Structure formats: C-alpha cells, structure tokens
C-alpha cells in the first residue's frame, strides 16, 4: 500500500495537480425537465483531492454523486474519470467502472445484515475477483484501520450506528478505489460519533491517496475537506475555505 | 376513528400481494365449491329422478337389477295399511346403434291418480292411453332433446340381440332439468325387453294414519330373499354411498389446494409484517397492545379470506356450471355418467366454503402477526435497525411428534366407511413436514459453503442468516409437491396394479358383449351356440353379470357367474378345502371389509327369491367394483336361477386365426341382429386404462392448481423479500454489482428454496403416498395396491418445479432489482 501511495506522489511530482475527475457543462433536470438541478455545472478534482459539497435539501447534491457514479444519466455535458468518459458508457461498462474504481459511503450505512462484518468489508474485493487469502489480509487491514480489529466475525446487529458506519468506510476503501463518494455519512450519527467518522473517512481517503467527494449538510464534516463547494442555482460555487 | 385504517389501508396500498392472496384462497375455495357443486347437482338429479318415479311413495320395495317376481305386487297391494302399490320395471335400455343407454321406466298407466299415471297424462300426447300401444314410449324433455326426437319420432333400443323400434308418443314437460328418461307401459316394457313377470320395484303409498315403521316391518316379513323395503330416500342414500368415497377424495384434494393458499397468505403476511416492523413498533409505542396488533393483523387475513372465499364461490359455481355444460355431471369416475344436471347452488355449503377460506387466510395471517406482536419494538424503532431477528436454532421435536402422531393415526379403522383417520394422518404428516422445514432449512443452509463469487456468497449468506424467510417460501412448494408426489405415487401404483390385474382378468383373445352400456342386451343360448360355432373359435367361456342385494342399506353386490372361478380370477387367498355339497363363492376384497365375510365362512346369498348357502372359497382382487363382487360357478347360478343368458363371451381363438378375421366371421354370423361388441383383449385393456386415466384427470387439474399456488407463493415471497431488501440491492448496485448478478443471486436463493421445498416435499409426499395407498385407498375403495414409484416422472417434475420456483423467485424479485438504485439507498427520499 505504501508503495502505491509513493508511486502516486511520484506521479504527482511529474504532473502536478492533474485533474482526474472532470465534469463539464453537466445538465440534469427533474419533473419532466421543468426543474433544473444542474445547468452547465463544471467541477474538477485533482488526484488525491477531497472535496465537500454543501447546499440546501433538494438542490441535487446526492444526484451529482449518482451522476458521477454512473447510476443516473445526465441530460447533457460530460463526466470523465481518469480519462474515461463515464457519460458515454453503457450500463454494464458504468457498473464495471464503479466496481473497480469507486467506493461508496451512505447515510444509512447499508451494511448487509445477513453477513458478518468481515464479509461486508470483503464484498468489493469479492466482486473484483480477489483471492481468498488476499481478501482475508485486506479485510483485517481495513478493520484494523477503522478501529474494528478482531470484529470480522461479528454480526452487524451487534454493532452500534457509529461502528456500522466505520464498517461502511472500511468497505468503501477496501479496494483502494480512486474515488470515494460519501453521501451524508454522518446524518444518522450523534456529534461525537460523527466527528470520529469524519476524521476516519478523511484520514483513510488521504492515506490511500484517493479522491473524495463528500455531500453533507454538516459544516463540521465539510471542514474536513480540501475544498468546500456549494450547489446553488444549478451550479457549484466556492465557499469560504475552511479554517 | 378506528385503527382499521392503519391496517386495512395496507391491503389497498399493496394491492398486488393482496390480490395474489385473494386469488390463491379463491382458487382453493373454487375447487372445493366446483367439486361439491357438481357432485351435489348430480346427486340431486338422481334424487329427483328417484322422486319422479316413486312420486309420493312412503315405502319402496327394491330388488336386484334382474328384478323379482311380479306376484309380490298383488300380495302387497292387499296388505292392510297399504293405500296404493305402484309396480315398476326400470331398465337401462341400450340405444341401438349408439354407445349410450337410456333409463326406461315401465309404469302401470291404469293407476288413475298415481304419480306415474299423472306423469303420463302430462305428456305431450295428452292421453295416457297412448302408452297402451306396446311400442309407444314417452320421452322426458331432456331425453327428447338429447336424442333429437319429437312426438312421432322413432326410438331404437336393443333387447337381447334384437333391435326394437319404439314410437315416441309424446314428450313429458315439467320434469326436473336434466332428467333423461323414457316411460312405457309396464306390460309393454316386460314384453319388449324379455322381462315377462318381472318387476324391479314397487312404490307403496300408505293409507292415512298408518305408521311407516310398522308398515315397513309388515312388508319386510313378506319379502322374498334379496329384496328390501325402505323409504325412497334409502335409494338416494345408496347412490350417495356409491360415490361418497370418490367425492370425499376430491374434496380433500381441494382442501390441500386451499391449505397451499393459506401458506401463500402466511408467506405474504409474514413478509409484509416484516416490512412493517417499524410501523408496528410505532403502533406499540403509541399504546396499541400486542393483542390488538394480533387481532388487527389477523383481521387483515380474514378480509383477504372473505374476499377470496366470496370470489372462490363465484368462480367455483361458474366453473361447475361450465363443467356440467361441457362434460355433464360426472367428474370422471363414472358414477354419474351421462347425467347433465342443472347446477343447484347451495347457500349453506357456499357459506361453509367461504368460512373455510376465511379460516385459512386468518390462520395464515395469525402466525406472523403473533410473532410480530411479540417482537421487540424498541429495536425496530431504532435508526439503522438491520431488521433481522437473531438466528435462533429451530426445534424439531414438536414436528417429529406430529409426524409420529400422523403415522399412529393411520392405523385407526375407518369411520362410517370413510378413511377419516387416513386424511387426518395425511394432514398431520403434512403439518409435521412443514414444522420440520425450519429445522431442515437451518441445518441445510448452515452447511452451505462460503461461496467464491459475490452472488453465491451473498445468496448463501442470506439463506444462512434468514432460513426462516426461505422456509416460508419453501413451505408452499413443500405442500404442493407433497400433494403431487403422493397422488402421483398413488395413481402410478393404482395404474400398475390395474394393468397387472387386467392382464390376469382378460386372458382370452376376444371378448363379445351384447349390451355396453345398459342392461337390456344379452346373449341368449342361441347366440351362445352361434358364437361357439363360428370358425376360428377355440375355447369359449360365457360369463353372466347380475346383481344381488345383500343388505338393504348397501349398494347392490355384483354377481358374476362363470366357469371355474377358482382358476379364472386373480385370487389373493383361497380356502384350503371346500365342504361337500355347499357351493363356493369367490368374493372380491371389498366383501370382507363391508360384510365381514371370511374365507371358509358359510354365507347366505339371495337368488331367485330365496336364500342359498355358499361357502367363501376365496378372495380375489377386483378393481372394477368398489362395492363388492361375488363370483360363483356358472352351473350353480343357472341351476338356482334358471337364467341361462350370458353377458360376456370370452373366446380363445384357434391357433393361427387372426382376431380380425374371427370378428368378421362373428359379425357375419350375427347379421340381422343388433351388432354385438367384439373387442380384442388388448383393446379392452386400452379402453379400461383410458377410463382409469379419465377418472384421475380431474385430480391432475387440482394438483396443477396447487402447484400454481405454490409457485405464486414463491414469487410472492421473493417479491416481498426483494422489496424488503431493495436497499440492499441498491447498495450492491452502488458497489458495482450488475442487475444480472443480482438476478443470479436471487435465482440461486430461489433454486435453493425450491430444492429444499421440493426435496422435503418428495420425502413427505412419499410417506403420504403410503397412507394414501394403504389406508385411504384401502378404506375408501376396498382394494389393495402394490406400491409403484414413478421415479423418472417424479424427478422430472421435481426438476421442473425447482427451475420454475427459481424463475418465480427472479420474477418476483425483478421489481425490486429494477428499482432505482439511487432511491433505494436514500432514507429521506
């Protein structure tokens, strides 16, 4: 893993601040096109950059994440991830891209209740065809990283909300994805747990050299990002840099 | 405002699941209603037919189908207390040139005011004396329409081997719909059908103030052996008894379809309750007691049952009406062959079926309702609740006890000649198997491997973690498969036994019959001599089929007079030695059950008006008559009765003579006579097996209905489960699982559920089939069968069911699989 991070730093030194997520002129409307959520929206994320997006409820923050993930189709504009134009891919290709390059953290954790904590973390690795031995090593590593070492065999029902979100973070990062998409990851947590989860998410994204796109209402969560943008009037605007 | 809106509103908002449940219950109820409706109508028609003929008779004297001496009429007519005696002769007249028979009733038209006379006077001719013409006949409207005849038309019937042309003197209107019969003057009928001096029944109207019981005793004292006197109702009861076992069997099949419907309700309700966990927990938190929650959830089931029951009654009667219109009142077993009764809806039985539907659906809803009411509401109210109960180890002991009870109960004797405990045993075995399913699911799924691919890993993990949900879906499959397997083994055993039996009872090359169907044709001695003299005939044996009434309350016993019964019947047991001077009688398996006769026992059989002593010389297997048959030496029968006619000729051809050539020669020999029926043994066997298959055709339809309901249960379960798991599917789609992978995961789960249900169903069905064959069949129809396991068809069925169930699972889950992955993971949408 350290070798991977070093390689990325080396690449960054050769090509400083190379944007690897590029969104151009993105358009998206709902209510049969009568209500535009995005109109000519642009965004660039550099390798290893962690960006928070804020905005009022219903302005399309989560939709933006879904468009980036290829879960929804835009009505105009392009999204490129590492040079691959997501918007030009068919559903299967988008699914494969998501499987190989992205990690998700949800507000409601979405930890599978019928498999163990370890199996939950292993899921992206299994989907990507990792060997059993490699999976075991990586799962142990990730659980250790999120403070749940030794809980691989626990059932999700035995965990608290904060712990479940930590499992979700471990799952999102297990594959070392290039992009982590987090949608209100602290929405269901108390302030103390929320702070711990935010710190963990930031540190894990950073330590793995991934890009992060965080959608949140929480100023505390947004403060952990490199940049904070506000989605308003169908476009992204820069917010004051966090203290 | 009632709490009802919080519960019944869901039935509307989840209309798909509710409608599926309603249709499942409706299908079970409809099957029961249709079977009951058709049988009730056919029985009702028979009863009306009896009343048409017997009119206002208080008592009726009946004899065997061959009739009795008419001098009894004179004796009874002068008996104190007897107001009027009405002699009758009833015949199933073979229609010439057709393969049908018509019920022909010979009445005394001179009896002014008698029901029969009044009936004749009502005929289209308007003149009862029109019947005095010995060739005149009055047809009922149903018979006239059936035969396409009107007044002045000619009706051709067969008597012996002769053709008789009868003139239609009128058409009788006003009889109950569907009554096909012809009226003749009694003397003409006796003459034209070679029954001079013979009656088959005498209706007795008592003088005012006479006690029916006392009169019955006085009449009985005068009756020769083999005759009975009873209120006319007894004949209806006898007919009802003839078909009762078959009718009960069909009703039991319908009840299993209804039980499968109840399991579907249970599946859907259990999963609906699971989905509403938070909602129910909130209601608990808001002050609703567990008892109230159980009551309301059960009321949801009752509402489904009521809707399904009412719909089922409507569908059932519509189906019964259509079935009667297309196929008549016979469900395949031949008890009501040729009848075309008017469908008579019966409010009490319809209400009973609606109640059964309500009961089944309420039970289906009660079980999960109780579990939901007892669940922890605090956990369900918690944000991020995973919504799963701890995986408790199920207990097998109660279910094993139920199976043991089922096995023990199977040994109990019949009740009222019905295998009541046999059915209870099957119910216990089925419930026991259903009860064992959670235990089985727990252990089988626990043994599943981890799985390498994501969909395999997730599917197996789901099954391991929630065997209860899989078991719910599997329970419908189990019930339906068990039913089909039990019936398939029983039918295969029966069919194989019948095939073997036919090979034994049809040893000759060619069979000649004079009257099929009907009883007016016969082979007289001249015809017998003709047959024996036809070129190519080797050995010829003649068999006489008659009837004898042993007990007044029972159907007539078939009497078979033939050469050498000891070596020409498929004997199961025989007496070591017969006493000197007492003729032997070889009885079918039903006789020991019904009359208690044992090998070596001396019994008295009424023949030709007197009782004669026989000794039971053997017991033989007879799959043709479930109410008993007794065979005796033809010589003995002829000596006692003087009846030298034959019903069937068994002919072994001379070596090298082709059957077709012999048949041509035989027809030539009978040129000018009404054609006899000539069949090769192979054709008789094929025809018998075709009748056998037709008898069971209706059961196949009912089994198919149960399987359809079970597949619907699987689809409904997986649809509900998939909705319950839509967030999981959404998350998996976020993580990069394709729809196809999720589909494969669901198919794998569906297949596992199906394999569990089918596997358990196969075992349960096999056990149930033993009870069906050895207990239900034995006690219903009094015949023993050798067990035959139709392995290849069963395995094909099992495989097809597993594949269909997997497909149903994917189909059921498709809605949730296709749900917007984005919406699925959002809680605040």
Give me the DSSP letters along A97-159: HHHHHEEEE-TT----TTS-HHHHHHHHHHHTT--HHHHHHHHHHHHHHTT-TT-TT--GGGS
Residues B316 and B422 in one domain: no
Q: Is residue B510 situated within a structural domain?
A: no
Kindly state the tokens that stand for B327.
């196929």
- As to burial, measured by CB atoms within 10 angstroms (0-12 exposed, 13-18 middle, 19+ buried), residue B93 is buried
Put simply, the answer to whether A126 touches B457 (Cβ < 8 Å) is yes
| Separation of alpha carbons A161 and A167, rounded Å | 10
Rounded mean pLDDT, B111-116: 55
Give the per-residue pLDDT at B829: 33
Residues B716 and B825 in one domain: yes
Which of B330-344, B516-530, B700-714 is predicted least confidently? B330-344
Q: Are B304 and B11 in contact (CB under 8 A)?
A: yes
Q: Residue A24 phi/psi, 5° resolution?
A: -125, 125
Put simply, the answer to whether B738 touches A95 (Cβ < 8 Å) is yes
Give the per-residue pLDDT at B371: 74
Q: For B390, which residue in chain A has the nearest alpha carbon?
A: A157
Q: Is residue B680 situated within a structural domain?
A: no
Q: Average per-residue pLDDT in chain B? A: 79
Q: Output b/e per residue, B646-662; b: 16+ Cβ within 10 A.
A: bbbbbbebeeebebeeb
Give the per-residue pLDDT at B384: 44
Q: Residue B236 phi/psi, 5° resolution?
A: -65, -40
Put simply, the answer to whether B728 touches A112 (Cβ < 8 Å) is yes
B8 has a pLDDT exceeding 50: yes
Q: Is residue B521 situated within a structural domain?
A: yes
Most confident of A214-223, B14-23, B175-184, B332-341: A214-223
Kindly state the tokens that stand for B595.
């009359």
> Pick from B465, B734, B828: which is nearest to A114 by CB?
B465
> Pick from B732, B736, B825: which is nearest to A108 by CB?
B825
Rounded mean pLDDT, B245-267: 71
Share of chain A above pLDDT 70, in %: 91
Q: If you write DSSP's letter for every residue of B204-254 in order, what string do you get?
A: EEEPTT--HHHHHHHHHHHPPTT-EEE-THHHHHHHHHHHHHHHHHHHHHH
Put simply, the answer to whether A71 touches B731 (Cβ < 8 Å) is no
Report chain A residues whose CB lies below 8 A from the CB of B457.
115, 119, 126
Residues B269 and B373 in one domain: yes
B148 has a pLDDT exceeding 90: no
* Bond prior to B520 in cis (omega within 30° of 0): no
Alpha helices of B506-626 — where are they, by DSSP H? 525-533, 565-568, 590-595
- What is the distance in angstroms between the Cα of A14 and the nearest Cα belonging to chain B? 32
The three-class DSSP label of residue B384 is coil
**Pick the residue with more confidence: B263 or B397?**
B397
- As to burial, measured by CB atoms within 10 angstroms (0-12 exposed, 13-18 middle, 19+ buried), residue B321 is middle
Helix or strand run (H / E) with residue B510: strand B510-513
> What residues does each domain of chain A span?
2-232
Kindly state the tokens that stand for B628.
């008993």
Query: Residues in chain A whose beta carbon is closer than 8 A to a beta carbon of chain B?
Result: 62-63, 66, 69, 71-72, 91-92, 95-96, 98-100, 102, 104, 106-115, 119, 123-124, 126-128, 132, 156-157, 161, 164, 171, 183, 188
- Which of B717, B741, B457, B364 has the alpha carbon at shortest distance from B725? B717
- CA angle B580/B581/B582 to nearest 5° reads 100
Query: What pLDDT digit, counting tens, does each position of B789-820 carry?
Result: 888 888 888 888 888 878 877 777 776 666 56
Residues B422 and B528 in one domain: no
Give the per-residue pLDDT at B243: 62
Q: Residue B41 phi/psi, 5° resolution?
A: -65, -40
Q: If you write DSSP's letter for every residue of B84-144 in order, what string do you get?
A: EEEEEEEEEEEBTTSS-EEEEEEE-TT-TTSHHHHHHHHSTTS-GGGGGSTTEEEEEHHHH
Q: Is residue B509 situated within a structural domain?
A: no
Residues B156 and B225 in one domain: yes
A101 has a pLDDT exceeding 60: yes
Distances (CA, A) of B368 to A143, B269, B300, B492: 37, 7, 12, 38
Rounded mean pLDDT, B660-673: 81
Give the per-residue pLDDT at B114: 54
Which of A176-190, B372-386, B663-677 is predicted least confidently? B372-386
Which of B34-48, B91-105, B606-620 is predicted least confidently? B34-48
Which of A75-79, B121-125, B421-425 is predicted least confidently? B121-125
Neighbours of B180 (CB within 10 A): 23
List, in order, residues 6 or more apart from B599 with CB less than 8 Å away: B573, B574, B575, B616, B617, B618, B619
Q: For A181, which residue in chain B has the nearest alpha carbon?
A: B734
Q: For B455, which residue in chain A has the nearest alpha carbon?
A: A127
Q: Is residue B236 situated within a structural domain?
A: no
pLDDT category at A242 given cuts 50, 70, 90 is very low
List, in order, residues 6 or more apart from B222 with CB less than 8 Å away: B72, B75, B76, B79
Asked if B462 is an interface residue toward chain A (Cβ–Cβ < 8 A), one would say yes
Residues B69 and B106 in one domain: yes
| Separation of alpha carbons A146 and A109, rounded Å | 14
List, in order, residues 6 or more apart from B744 with CB less than 8 Å away: B455
Share of chain A above pLDDT 90, in %: 34
Rounded mean pLDDT, A156-165: 87
Q: Are B52 and B335 in contact (CB under 8 A)?
A: no
List, in order, residues 6 or more apart from B810 with CB less than 8 Å away: B718, B743, B746, B747, B750
State how beta strands B201-206 and B82-94 pair. antiparallel
Residues B378 and B484 in one domain: no
Distances (CA, A) of B324 to A51, B140, B320: 76, 19, 6
Give the per-residue pLDDT at B764: 93
The three-class DSSP label of residue B546 is strand
pLDDT category at A180 given cuts 50, 70, 90 is very high
> Pick from B454, B461, B822: which is nearest to A127 by CB?
B454
Rounded mean pLDDT, B239-256: 67
- As to burial, measured by CB atoms within 10 angstroms (0-12 exposed, 13-18 middle, 19+ buried), residue B397 is exposed
Domain of B757, in residue numbers: 397-504+687-829
B733 has a pLDDT exceeding 90: no
Put simply, the answer to whether A126 touches B464 (Cβ < 8 Å) is no
> Pick from B464, B727, B735: which is nearest to A127 by CB?
B735
Give the per-residue pLDDT at B311: 93
| Separation of alpha carbons A55 and A232, rounded Å | 7
Instruction: Tally the domains of chain B.
Output: 4
Put simply, the answer to whether B387 touches A72 (Cβ < 8 Å) is no
Asked if B827 is an interface residue toward chain A (Cβ–Cβ < 8 A), one would say yes
- What is the distance in angstroms between the Cα of B364 and the nearest Cα belonging to chain A? 26
Q: Which of B613, B648, B675 is the last residue of a domain?
A: B675
Report chain A residues whose CB lies below 8 A from the CB of B387.
113
Report chain B residues whose CB lies below 8 A from the CB of A92.
738
| Separation of alpha carbons A47 and A179, rounded Å | 9
Q: For B733, which residue in chain A has the nearest alpha carbon?
A: A95
Q: Which of B231, B256, B291 is the last residue of a domain?
A: B231
Asked if B291 is an interface residue toward chain A (Cβ–Cβ < 8 A), one would say no
Distance in angstroms between the alpha carbons of the first and the last residue of chain A: 31
Rounded mean pLDDT, B71-80: 84
| Separation of alpha carbons B365 and B552, rounded Å | 49
**Pick the residue with more confidence: B721 or A99?**
A99
Residues B166 and B136 in one domain: yes
Residues B714 and B820 in one domain: yes
Q: Which of B675, B708, B723 is the last residue of a domain?
A: B675
Give the per-residue pLDDT at B174: 66
Kindly state the tokens that stand for B598.
């044992």
Put simply, the answer to whether A127 touches B736 (Cβ < 8 Å) is yes
Give the per-residue pLDDT at B245: 63
Distances (CA, A) of B431 to B353, B475, B765: 21, 10, 12
Which ipTM did the prediction report?
0.72
Report chain B residues whose CB lies below 8 A from the CB of A128.
736
**Pick the residue with more confidence: B562 or B91?**
B562
Q: Compute CA B195 distance to the chain's CA centroid, rounded to the nearest angstrom.
A: 36
Helix or strand run (H / E) with residue B203: strand B201-206
Q: Is residue B527 situated within a structural domain?
A: yes
pLDDT category at B827 given cuts 50, 70, 90 is very low
Distances (CA, A) of B628 to B66, B256, B503, B550, B764: 17, 30, 20, 10, 32
Report chain B residues whose CB lies below 8 A from the CB of A183.
825
**Pick the residue with more confidence: B374 or B571?**
B571
- Which of B616, B609, B614, B617 has the alpha carbon at shortest distance from B642? B609
- What is the distance in angstroms between the Cα of B736 and the nearest Cα belonging to chain A? 4
Give the per-residue pLDDT at B623: 81
Put simply, the answer to whether A156 touches B386 (Cβ < 8 Å) is yes
Most confident of A183-187, B335-339, B723-727: A183-187
Q: Position of tokens 């009434």?
A: B549
Give the per-residue pLDDT at B645: 87
Report chain A residues whose CB lies below 8 A from the CB of B464.
114
Asked if B383 is an interface residue toward chain A (Cβ–Cβ < 8 A), one would say yes
CATH architecture of A2-232: 3-Layer(aba) Sandwich (3.40)
pLDDT category at B386 given cuts 50, 70, 90 is very low
State how beta strands B584-588 and B629-633 pair. antiparallel
Q: Position of tokens 């078909």?
A: B243
Which of B153-157, B297-301, B377-381, B432-436 is predicted least confidently? B377-381
List, in order, residues 6 or more apart from B93 with CB less than 8 Å away: B101, B102, B103, B104, B157, B158, B182, B193, B518, B520
Kindly state the tokens that stand for B392.
């408790």
Give the per-residue pLDDT at B518: 58
- What is the distance in angstroms between the Cα of B453 and the nearest Cα belonging to chain A? 6
> Pick from B452, B466, B732: which is nearest to A114 by CB?
B466
Handedness of CA A218, A223, A227, A230 (dihedral sign): positive
Give the per-residue pLDDT at B119: 60
Q: Are B362 and B302 in contact (CB under 8 A)?
A: yes
Put simply, the answer to whether A98 touches B821 (Cβ < 8 Å) is no
Residues B422 and B488 in one domain: yes
Residues B158 and B16 in one domain: no
Residues B353 and B407 in one domain: no
- CA angle B595/B597/B603 to nearest 5° reads 100
Put simply, the answer to whether B737 touches A72 (Cβ < 8 Å) is no
| Separation of alpha carbons B120 and B199, rounded Å | 19
Share of chain B above pLDDT 70, in %: 81
Give the per-residue pLDDT at A243: 37
| Separation of alpha carbons B226 and B248, rounded Å | 30
Kindly state the tokens that stand for B297.
């959830």
- What is the distance in angstroms between the Cα of A59 and the nearest Cα belonging to chain B? 13
């Amino acid at each position: 893993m350290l070798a991977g991070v070093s390689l990325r730093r080396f690449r960054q030194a050769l090509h400083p601040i190379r944007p690897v997520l590029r969104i151009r002129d993105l358009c998206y409307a709902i209510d049969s096109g009568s209500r535009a959520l995005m109109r000519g929206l642009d965004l660039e994320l550099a390798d290893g950059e962690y960006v928070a997006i804020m905005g009022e409820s219903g302005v399309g923050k989560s939709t933006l994440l879904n468009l980036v993930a290829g879960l929804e189709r835009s009505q105009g504009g392009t999204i490129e991830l590492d040079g691959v134009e997501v918007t030009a891919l068919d559903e299967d290709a988008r699914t494969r891209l998501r499987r190989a390059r992205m990690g998700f953290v949800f507000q409601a954790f979405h930890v599978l209740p019928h498999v163990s904590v370890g199996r939950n973390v292993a899921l992206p690795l299994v989907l990507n065809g990792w060997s059993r031995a490699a999976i075991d090593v990586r799962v142990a590593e990730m659980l250790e990283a999120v403070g749940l070492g030794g809980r691989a065999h626990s059932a999700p029902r035995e965990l608290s909300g904060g712990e479940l979100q930590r499992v979700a973070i471990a799952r999102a990062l297990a594959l070392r994805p290039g992009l982590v998409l987090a949608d209100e990851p602290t929405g269901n947590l108390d302030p103390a747990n929320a702070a711990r989860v935010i710190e963990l998410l930031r540190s894990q994204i950073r330590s793995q050299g991934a890009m992060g796109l965080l959608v949140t209402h929480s100023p505390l969560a947004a403060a952990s990002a490199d940049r904070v943008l506000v989605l308003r009037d169908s476009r992204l605007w820069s917010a004051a840099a966090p203290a | 405002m009632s709490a009802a809106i919080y519960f019944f509103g869901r039935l509307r908002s989840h209309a798909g699941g509710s409608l599926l449940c309603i249709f499942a219950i409706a299908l079970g109820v409809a099957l029961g209603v249709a079977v009951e409706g058709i049988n009730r109508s056919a029985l009702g028609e028979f009863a009306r037919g009896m009343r048409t003929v017997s009119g206002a008779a208080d008592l009726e004297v009946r004899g065997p189908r061959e009739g009795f001496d008419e001098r009894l009429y004179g004796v009874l007519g002068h008996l104190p207390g007897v107001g009027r005696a009405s002699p009758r002769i009833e015949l199933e007249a073979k229609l010439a040139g057709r393969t049908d028979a018509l019920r022909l009733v010979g009445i005394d038209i001179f009896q002014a005011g008698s029901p029969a006379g009044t009936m004749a006077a009502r005929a289209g001719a308007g003149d009862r004396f029109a019947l005095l013409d010995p060739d005149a006949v009055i047809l009922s409207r149903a018979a006239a329409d059936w035969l396409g005849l009107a007044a002045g038309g000619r009706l051709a019937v067969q008597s012996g081997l002769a053709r008789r042309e009868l003139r239609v003197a009128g058409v009788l209107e006003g009889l109950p719909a569907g009554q096909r019969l012809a009226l003749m003057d009694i003397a003409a009928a006796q003459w034209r059908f070679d029954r001079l001096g013979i009656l088959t029944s005498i209706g007795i109207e008592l003088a005012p103030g006479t006690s029916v019981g006392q009169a019955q005793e006085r009449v009985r004292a005068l009756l020769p052996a083999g005759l009975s006197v009873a209120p006319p109702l007894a004949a209806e009861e006898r007919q009802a008894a003839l078909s009762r076992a078959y009718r009960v069997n069909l009703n039991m099949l319908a009840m299993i379809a209804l039980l499968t419907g109840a399991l579907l309700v249970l599946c859907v309700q259990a999963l609906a309750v699971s989905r509403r966990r938070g909602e129910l927990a909130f209601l608990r938190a808001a002050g609703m007691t567990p008892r109230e929650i159980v009551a309301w959830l059960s009321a949801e089931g009752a509402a489904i049952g009521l809707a399904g029951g009412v719909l089922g009654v409507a569908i059932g009667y519509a189906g019964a009406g259509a079935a009667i219109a297309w196929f008549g009142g016979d469900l395949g077993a031949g008890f009501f062959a040729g009848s075309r009764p008017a469908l008579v809806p019966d409010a009490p039985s319809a209400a009973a079926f609606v109640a059964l539907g309500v009961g089944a659906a309420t039970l289906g809803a009660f079980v999960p309702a109780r579990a939901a009411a007892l669940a922890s509401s605090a956990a369900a109210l918690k944000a991020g609740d995973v919504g799963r109960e701890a995986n408790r180890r199920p207990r097998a002991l109660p279910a094993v006890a139920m199976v043991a009870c089922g096995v023990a109960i199977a040994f109990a004797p019949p009740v009222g000649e019905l295998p009541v405990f046999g059915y209870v045993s099957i119910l216990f075995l089925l419930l026991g198997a259903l009860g064992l399913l959670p235990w089985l699911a727990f252990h089988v799924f626990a043994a599943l491997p981890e799985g390498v691919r994501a969909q395999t890993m997730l599917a197996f993990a789901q099954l391991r973690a929630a065997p209860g949900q899989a078991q719910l879906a599997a329970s419908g499959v189990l019930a339906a498969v068990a039913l089909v397997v039990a019936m398939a083994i029983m039918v295969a055993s029966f069919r194989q036994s019948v095939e073997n039996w036919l090979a034994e009872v049809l040893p000759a090359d060619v069979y000649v019959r004079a009257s099929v169907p009907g009883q007016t044709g016969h082979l007289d001695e001249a015809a017998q001599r003709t047959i024996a003299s036809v070129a190519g005939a080797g050995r010829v044996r003649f068999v006489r089929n008659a009837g004898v009434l042993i007990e007044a309350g029972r159907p007539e016993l078939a009497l078979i007079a033939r050469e050498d019964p000891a070596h020409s019947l498929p004997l199961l047991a025989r007496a070591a030695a017969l006493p000197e001077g007492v003729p032997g009688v070889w009885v079918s398996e039903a006789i020991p059950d019904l009359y208690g006769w044992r090998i070596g026992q001396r019994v008295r059989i009424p023949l030709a008006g007197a009782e004669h002593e026989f000794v039971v010389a053997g017991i033989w297997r007879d799959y043709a008559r479930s109410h008993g048959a007794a065979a005796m030496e033809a010589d003995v029968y002829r000596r006692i009765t003087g009846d030298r006619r034959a019903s069937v000729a068994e002919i072994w051809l001379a070596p090298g003579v082709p059957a077709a050539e012999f048949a041509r020669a035989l027809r030539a020999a009978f040129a000018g006579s009404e054609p006899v029926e000539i069949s090769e043994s192979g054709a008789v066997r094929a025809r018998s097996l075709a009748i056998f298959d037709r008898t069971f055709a209706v059961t196949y339809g009912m089994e198919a209905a149960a399987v359809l309901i079970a597949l619907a249960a699987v689809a409904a379960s997986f649809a509900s489960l998939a909705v319950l798991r839509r967030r999981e599917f959404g998350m998996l789609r976020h993580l990069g699982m394709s729809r196809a992978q999720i589909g494969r995961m669901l198919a794998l789960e569906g297949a596992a559920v199906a394999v569990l249900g089918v596997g358990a169903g196969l075992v349960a069905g096999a056990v149930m089939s033993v009870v069906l064959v050895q207990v239900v069949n034995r006690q219903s129809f009094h015949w023993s069968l050798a067990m035959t396991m139709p392995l290849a068809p069963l395995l094909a069925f099992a495989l097809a069911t597993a594949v269909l169930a997997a497909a149903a699972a994917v189909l059921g889950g498709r809605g949730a699989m296709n749900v917007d992955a984005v919406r699925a993971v959002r809680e605040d949408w």
